[in-house]
Amino acid sequence: MGAQNGKDLLIKVDMTDNGSFTTLAGLRATRVSFNAETIDVTTLESQGGWRELLSGAGVRSVSISGSGVFRDADTDERARQLFFDGEAPNFQVVIPDFGIVEGPFQVTSIEYGGSHNGEATYELSLASAGALSFTVI
């Protein structure tokens, strides 16, 4: 796999809960993190004193963050409303030459910033809020 264009990593939200996804506009940088907790089942009888982990156990999660500028009133308003309502609608995360992660996410933080001689910016964080699916592309 060769180098990928960062602008092709997209975060999309279901705008009306009907399965129709729209890219969150204005994002300049995005980051996706996959996490899996481990469950240590090591005992005094573990071979050679090596740690043993319980296969298939533990909590899996995905966190997403992005930053950018305000460009699209509809998606900006949807992100704000999701935060204040505490909802967890379906999102899609398109990762070039990897796949699409889809499922419920909750907006866990929104930060706004700006300077007197620049554009207004925002940072957004999402946390997985249920079972996710993965589709290879």
Structural domain contains residue 94: yes
Structural domain contains residue 38: no
**pLDDT for residue 84:** 95
pLDDT, block means (10 residues), the chain with 137 residues: 70 89 85 93 94 92 90 84 94 90 95 88 94 93
**pLDDT for residue 7:** 67
Structural domain contains residue 29: yes
How many domains, the chain? 1
**pLDDT for residue 24:** 83
Cα–Cα distance between 18 and 53 in angstroms, integer?
Answer: 40
The domain in which residue 96 lies consists of 6-33+62-135
**pLDDT for residue 1:** 57
Q: Domain with 110 in it: what CATH number?
A: 2.30.110.20
Structural domain contains residue 105: yes
Cα–Cα distance between 68 and 121 in angstroms, integer?
Answer: 6
**pLDDT for residue 133:** 95
Structural domain contains residue 21: yes
Structural domain contains residue 92: yes
